[in-house]
Amino acid sequence: MDFKENIRVVADFPEAGIRFKDITTLLKDGKRFHQAIDALTKPFKGQGIELVVGPEARGFVIGAPVAYALEAGFVPVRKPGKLPAETLKHEYNLEYGKDSLEIHKDAIIPGQSVLIVDDLLATGGTVQATIAMVEALGGVVVGLVFLIELSYLEGRKNLTNYNIMSLLKY
């Protein structure tokens, strides 16, 4: 099952020098999308995951079906100004640019077992921000799950205390 066949690599998007890993070519293939979610979910079945936390926007597309398959809840981490109730906010760096993310303050009950799911690990800024917010709310991060890992950006280097799973490495 080489899912790389289903990922389109687009040169110089969104800016010169970036080789963008486009997952829409995987998502539109129902069978392969299903197989990818199964593969991401398998190691965590029966592990007592209570919540999947996924960052906007591609983290919703991968995180929500993983949560469904694990019979866990889904908690969105969103770009600023999108969540309606009281939020925690965290600033972070991207492979390209800077951004900040928010989570609802009441999204996690302290002690809940949390899997963080996103489509892609690049520099790790997004997942580090997400971890910081989950832990600030008392969640216990049991794993970090990605469809794609850009190994050349060494996002793992700052995540040594966490159990990381990625399906595809570039």
Q: Between residue 3 and residue 62, which ones bind ligand PRP under the rule CB under 6 A?
A: 55-59
Put the strands of the sheet holding 140-149 in their side by side order. 73-77, 51-55, 113-121, 140-149, 164-169
Q: Between residue 130 and residue 149, which ones bind ligand ADE under the rule CB under 6 A?
A: none
Cα atoms in the 13 Å half-sphere on the side-chain side of 76 = 12
Interface with ligand PRP: number of residues (CB under 6 A): 18
Q: Which is nearer to ligand PRP, 115 or 121 (CB)?
A: 121
Residue 11: is it exposed, middle or buried by C-beta count within 10 angstroms (0-12/13-18/19+)? exposed
Catalytic residue list contains 19: no
- If one asks whether residue 120 binds ligand ADE (CB under 6 A), the answer comes out as yes
Catalytic residue list contains 32: no
Q: Report, in Å, the least distance between residue 89 CB and ligand PRP.
A: 15
Q: Between residue 67 and residue 106, which ones bind ligand ADE under the rule CB under 6 A?
A: 94-95
- If one asks whether residue 102 binds ligand PRP (CB under 6 A), the answer comes out as no
